[in-house]
Amino acid sequence: MGLQTRINAAVESAIHVGQSGSAPSKLSDALHYACTPGGARIRPTILLSVAMACGDDAPEITNAAAAALELIHCASLVHDDLPCFDDADIRRGKPSVHRAYSEPLAVLTGDSLIILAFEILARAAVHSPDRAVRLIRTLSHQSGMPNGICAGQGWESEAKIDLSAYHRSKTGALFIAATQMGAIAAGQDEEPWFELGARIGEAFQVADDLRDALYDSETLGKPAGQDDLHGRPNAVSQLGVDGAISRLRDILSGAISSIPSCPGEAQLAEMVRLQAEALTPVPASRAAKAG
């Protein structure tokens, strides 16, 4: 089974848990709508890749971990798109959840997906209570306050932003969760996997800044130019396009050399290289020269 197939099956199975019985049908539909079809599923792909590099000896736990992480990510997209944040009409090329279902249902969809993520991990405890508890601790730590993605969004309401804390929590947190949860799911210590997650997170931030600055809304599948519009810090405005691309490559080399020793180390390095290729946008001027 390919990684994408495995991730999509895990996400479908998790959503199904939230839909059984006599659930209100619109909210039930909205849970599915918010998570499928997926985007690049990059966080669960990293999680699975790390788990597999570490032996993946309890695949049910790995699947639950991948689904839980993706549910939290999707919940954050649904809430970030709300009128009081980005007020985004489109997401992944279709109407955002509050546009398709209503604002109350978008708030509830995000809330329900967050709760479902922890329910899925608690259910996976039948396979290993110890790993399930550590997964819940890691996911909650990287999602909430004071270190997680909620803190990251919270920084945008401050007059004075701690930029390093802002980027680490806003973008880095769920990549750290991805590498650490992959290790935990495979029965390994999570600490040595912090750095890989943090560096992939940094790379992703720079790549996102590049895409936001270079691409139009249609290519992105979401509104472009949001950083300029909301006055958010952006690597392109600080380093220029070439500087940002060069920085992205440096971070990814660092990420690869930070991979802890494990049976699937070489294959994991290859995966990070592939993600790097996929992440790096080609500026329109160079694409034209190459064409």
Residue with smaller CB distance to its own copies, 138 or 234: 138
Residue with smaller CB distance to its own copies, 148 or 260: 148
- Class of residue 206 by CB neighbours under 10 A (exposed 0-12, middle 13-18, buried 19+): buried
Report, in Å, the least distance between residue 133 CB and its own copies: 4
Do residues 202 and 172 touch, judged by C-beta distance below 8 A?
Answer: yes
Report, in Å, the least distance between residue 243 CB and its own copies: 27
231 contacts its own copies (rule: CB under 8 A): no
185 contacts its own copies (rule: CB under 8 A): no
Q: Of 111, 195, 227, 265, which one interacts with its own copies (CB under 8 A)?
A: 111
* DSSP bridge partners of 90: 95
Tokens of 106: 């978008």
Tokens of 122: 């608690």
DSSP H helices, 36-96, are: 42-53, 59-80
Residues 6+ apart with CB under 8 A from 143: 72, 114, 149, 150, 173, 174, 177
- Class of residue 107 by CB neighbours under 10 A (exposed 0-12, middle 13-18, buried 19+): middle
Residue with smaller CB distance to its own copies, 89 or 119: 119
Report, in Å, the least distance between residue 287 CB and its own copies: 37
CA distances from 74 to 25, 35, 124, 246, 267 (A): 19, 6, 20, 30, 28
Q: Of 37, 55, 93, 146, which one interacts with its own copies (CB under 8 A)?
A: 146
Stretch that binds its own copies, among 107-115, 191-199, 201-209, 229-237 (CB under 8 A): 107-115
Strands 90-91 and 94-95: antiparallel
60 contacts its own copies (rule: CB under 8 A): no
3 contacts its own copies (rule: CB under 8 A): no
Do residues 30 and 97 touch, judged by C-beta distance below 8 A?
Answer: yes
Residue with smaller CB distance to its own copies, 125 or 239: 125
Do residues 189 and 50 touch, judged by C-beta distance below 8 A?
Answer: no
Do residues 27 and 112 touch, judged by C-beta distance below 8 A?
Answer: yes
158 contacts its own copies (rule: CB under 8 A): yes
Residue with smaller CB distance to its own copies, 176 or 276: 176
- Please state, in angstroms and rounded to a whole number, the distance separating the CA atoms of residues 13 and 34: 14
**Would you put residue 281 in left (φ > 0), alpha (ψ -120 to 50) or beta?**
beta
Report, in Å, the least distance between residue 78 CB and its own copies: 10
Q: Which of residues 78-97 bind its own copies (CB under 8 A)?
A: 79, 82, 84-85
172 contacts its own copies (rule: CB under 8 A): no
Stretch that binds its own copies, among 123-131, 189-197, 238-246, 277-285 (CB under 8 A): 123-131
31 contacts its own copies (rule: CB under 8 A): yes
Residue with smaller CB distance to its own copies, 71 or 268: 71
Footprint of its own copies (CB under 8 A): 18-28, 31, 75, 79, 82, 84-85, 101-105, 107-108, 110-112, 114-116, 118-119, 121-123, 125, 129-130, 132-133, 136-137, 140-141, 143-148, 150-151, 153-158, 162, 165
